[in-house]
Amino acid sequence: METKQAQVRWIKSYSKKGVNYFAISFMFRGWNIRKRGYMTADEAMLEGTRIRTEIIQGNYNPDKSQEKLARVSLSEYFNSIYYSAKKNSVKASSLRTYKQCFNNWIAPVCGKTQLVLIGSKHAQRVLDRMNGAETRPATQKTVMQVFRAMINHAVSAGYRETGITLPKVSGKAGVKRVLSPEEVNTLIRSSKEVVSEEFSRLITTLYLSGLRIGELVALRTSDIDLQAHHITIARRYYENVEEAGRWDVPKNGKIQTIPIHPELVQVLREQMIEASNNKVSELLFTNSNGTVLSPRSVRETMKKVANIAMEDSTGVTPHALRRSIASTLVDSNLPIDSVADYLRHGTQVLQSHYNKPNRKLFRANFSGLRLIVNGDN
């Protein structure tokens, strides 16, 4: 027989038509029980014991409101209860921070999970996702603080029995690797030797286009215009823990085009020929089934190649290639505002430091640069 006691939040008296009654509220195995109409406090406690026994034996038949309460998801709790409770006690700016932290980092990982089932492993997955995206420690700490505050609120409000232990955030920022053109060439060449010629073309495209990994795997052959020398970025694909993946608009919310560097033209032409044999989808790069390539698998394969081919493989990720092309372009004396425009940098604070980019001049100078050292694609 289970000996764990129900967590009684309160027993209180109330009056109805001149008669005093008692009500009880307690938590047990994720059920949030609220009962009223008892003549004494002892009677209310006995009813709590009876309900607890029924739950243990699997015979408890809750009313609809209690069943819904027990099954509330983390997202439902945040949006319907926690966020509403905080509206009158915190600043509007803090509310925005809470919502951003939850929507950007917590919800994609465990938003659909029942609140009573949330544990330390879910918080760790959130932190792992943030580490993979190379977020700053300060941002990670804020997200974990929101996570803790929300769970503690659920405990005090009776929606959970216990809190959770959160993973520790490292005080050091993740390694933000910038590869030299020579290192990029090593990665491209080794990708062909270790994995395949197609994966080598993928790495080359990531580097020369500056695309985010979610944008690259979402590219269709129709997005590539080799005559006009531009790529249309119309969508992105990203993964989370609870779902296989999700299609969405580009990160900045609008369709844009970027120029194709001359060194990338033949690479894309070869990949478009390869993709034309795919009868399943119109995607430029796909997995062996002809469907969307997992960003996670690209990261893992890229790491495998880097571990084999490079003395220092620390921080070699798809996003490191985006960072590397930015560095190379700036080092080639292209205006920083034009580089930011080419990479479609969405940070308004950063953009506010720049003048309006001269795209025509950028395209002319960009096309004349040699970006891959001794490249034999």
User: pLDDT of 255-300, one tens digit each?
Assistant: 999 999 999 999 999 999 999 999 899 999 999 999 999 998 999 9
Sequence-ordered alpha helix ranges (H) in 169-294: 181-194, 197-209, 213-216, 262-275
Q: What is the pLDDT of residue 67?
A: 57
pLDDT at residue 42 in the model: 87
Q: Are residues 62 and 88 in the same domain?
A: no
Quick one: pLDDT at residue 3? 34
Among 55, 70, 85, give the residue marking a domain's end.
70
Q: Same domain for 337 and 278? A: yes
Same domain, 196 and 336: yes
Q: Do the domain assignments include residue 48?
A: yes
Residue 375 inside a domain? The answer is: no
> How many CB atoms neighbour CB 133 within 10 A?
14
Identify the pLDDT of residue 122.
Answer: 94
Q: Is the pLDDT of residue 346 over 90?
A: no
Per-residue confidence (pLDDT) for residue 224, from 0 to 100: 97
Residue type at position 36:
R
Query: How many domains, in total, are found in the chain?
Result: 3
Is the pLDDT at 8 greater than 70, yes or no?
Answer: no
Residue 108: which CATH number? 1.10.150.130
Residue 162 lies in a domain: no
Within 13 Å and on the Cβ side, how many CA atoms surround 130? 27
Q: Does 172 map to a domain?
A: no
* Between 166 and 8, the higher pLDDT residue: 166
Q: Are residues 20 and 63 in the same domain?
A: yes
Shared domain check, 56 and 86? no
The predicted-structure confidence for 14-31, as pLDDT tens digits, reads as follows: 888 888 888 887 766 656
Q: Give the range among 20-24, 87-91, 124-128, 305-309 with minimum mean pLDDT.
A: 87-91
Residues 136 and 96 grouped into a single domain: yes
Sheet holding 19-28, edge to edge: 7-16, 19-28, 31-38
Amino acid 292: pLDDT = 93
Report in angstroms the alpha-carbon separations of 194 from 72, 75, 188, 229, 285. 47, 43, 10, 30, 18
Task: Write down the pLDDT at residue 230.
Answer: 95
CB 360 within 8 A of CB 374: no
Q: CB–CB of 321/179 below 8 Å?
A: yes
Distance CA 203, CA 188 (A): 6
Q: Is the pLDDT of residue 241 over 70?
A: no
DSSP run (H or E) holding 99: helix 92-101
Look up the domain containing 91 and give its range: 74-156
Residue type, 107: A
Clarify whether residues 151 and 266 are in a common domain.
Answer: no
Using DSSP's 3-state secondary structure scheme, residue 33 falls into: strand
- Note the pLDDT of residue 34: 76
Q: How confident is the model at residue 207 (pLDDT cuts 50, 70, 90)?
A: very high
Q: Are 329 and 184 in contact (CB under 8 A)?
A: no
CA angle centred on 308, ends 302 and 310, rounded to 5°: 85
Same domain for 357 and 279 = yes
Query: Does residue 167 sit within a domain?
Result: no
User: Where is pLDDT greater, at 21 or 59?
Assistant: 21
Mean pLDDT of 51-75: 73
- pLDDT greater than 50 at residue 1: no
Query: Mean pLDDT across the stretch 27-46?
Result: 78
CB 169 within 8 A of CB 137: yes
**Model pLDDT, residue 348:** 44
Average pLDDT score, the chain: 83
pLDDT, residue 258, reads 94
- Rounded to whole angstroms, the Cα distance separating 33 from 10 reads 11
Task: Give the pLDDT of residue 347.
Answer: 42
Give the residue, 128 or 367, on which the prediction is more confident: 128
Q: How much is the pLDDT for 129? A: 86
**188-193 average pLDDT score:** 96
Taking the whole predicted model, whether its pTM rises above 0.85 is answered as no
pLDDT of 368 > 50? The answer is yes
The last residue of one of the domains, among 70, 89, 110, is 70
Is 18 within the bounds of a domain? Answer: yes
Does 171 fall in a domain? no
Cα–Cα distance measured from residue 102 to residue 69, given in angstroms and rounded to the nearest whole number: 21
Q: Which residue did the predictor score with more confidence, 225 or 94? A: 225
For 346, other C-beta atoms within 10 Å of its C-beta total: 13
Is there a single domain that holds both residue 258 and residue 126? no
Q: Are residues 335 and 356 in the same domain?
A: yes
Claim to verify: residue 106 and residue 121 sit in the same structural domain: yes
Domain closes at, from 70, 97, 121: 70
Check residues 135 and 145 and name the one with the higher pLDDT: 145
Asked whether residue 217 is domain-assigned, the answer is yes
What share of the chain in percent tops pLDDT 90? Answer: 43
- What SS3 class is residue 317? coil
Same domain for 331 and 302, yes or no, is yes
Residue 279 tokens read as 């009868």
Higher pLDDT, 120 or 2: 120
The residue ranking higher by pLDDT, 158 or 163, is 163
